[in-house]
Amino acid sequence: MLPKVIAISNQKGGVGKTTSAVNISAGLAARGYKVLLIDTDHQASCTVAFGLKSEYDNKSIYAALVGLSPIQDCIIRTGYPNLDLIPSTPHLVGAEIELVNFTEREYILTEKLEPIKPLYDFIFIDCPPSLGIVPINSLMASDSVIIPLQCEYFGIEGLELILGTLKIIQKRLKPELYVEGILLTMHDEDNDLSNQILGLMRENFKDQVFDTYIPRDMAFIDSTAKQVPVILSKKKSIGANAYDRMILEFLEKYNLRKNKR
Ligand code: ADP
Ligand code: MG
């Protein structure tokens, strides 16, 4: 199966989920693919990364999930060609409670995405670092998962958590959900531990790990203030180049799968 909906997930915060979601989406859109990015973190970092505001609660992933607005009405243009966004809002926290009594509550997003799927080549879902009804909906709506992992000691702990969650979902709800790849982020070549983790991950998880890893790059921190994704800035930094290579690697895997069909 070709992945169309891809969750960017890890139950740990600050590992590069949002940075990866924003740059992979923007990079693919710049290559001509039609991309929708869905921000499902109530902190709305994706939304902010594009300099957009989630001021309209009725035009957000919250509104779509609780049925306040049709999902088509929640899509906003980012201003970049081929790239749309469904923003998040702090109200998304409330959805956790509001959705409790919905029937088939794990499948709400899956159903909502059905009519808009044909409009896009890829749909990326930026997940929060928690596990609740909304994140479970995101995983259930996805074909595959990209797991960003910080090249730090505590990174491995986060990996065990998310892999455990995915195993439960695969066993009980969605056997076909698969790991697209583990993406090592914030690698620091001058740091021994960072290099050890890179080696350890490749040894243990083999081709589940993307060959490309993302180096630590100050440009990502600056981009938050500039509100332009690093991958789209005119002067390419090492981090932007790494995401570019990662996208090529992702597309290569994608095309291999396509040709096998
Ligand atoms: P998450 O979504 O997993 O919480 P973020 O993508 O928001 O993580 O990243 C956390 C912080 O680290 C942000 O301030 C971001 O700008 C910064 N960051 C992300 N990737 C890198 C990187 N490769 N190098 C340096 N800083 C990074
Ligand atoms: Mg985030």
pLDDT number for residue 63: 95
Paired tokens of 28? 């693919």
pLDDT number for residue 241: 98
Instruction: Concatenate the DSSP letters of all residues of 131-185 into one string.
Output: -SHHHHHHHHH-SEEEEEEESSHHHHHHHHHHHHHHHHHHHHT-TT-EEEEEEEE
Rg, the chain, Cα only: 17
Map tokens 């980012």 to a residue: 78
Task: Give, in degrees to the nearest 5, the angle at Cα 41 between 170 and 221.
Answer: 115
**pLDDT means over runs of 10, the chain (261 residues):** 89 95 98 97 90 80 96 95 95 92 94 96 96 95 97 87 94 96 97 95 95 96 85 93 98 88 72
pLDDT number for residue 123: 98
**Global pTM?**
0.97
Ligand 1 contact via 49 beta carbon (within 6 Å)? no
Distance 21 CA to ligand 1 centre (A): 11
Domain residue spans of the chain: 5-260
Instruction: Tell which one of 19, 228, 233 to mutate to probe ligand 1, the residue whose CB is within 8 A of the most ligand atoms.
Output: 19
Ligand 1 contact via 229 beta carbon (within 6 Å)? no
**What CATH architecture does domain 5-260 belong to?**
3-Layer(aba) Sandwich (3.40)
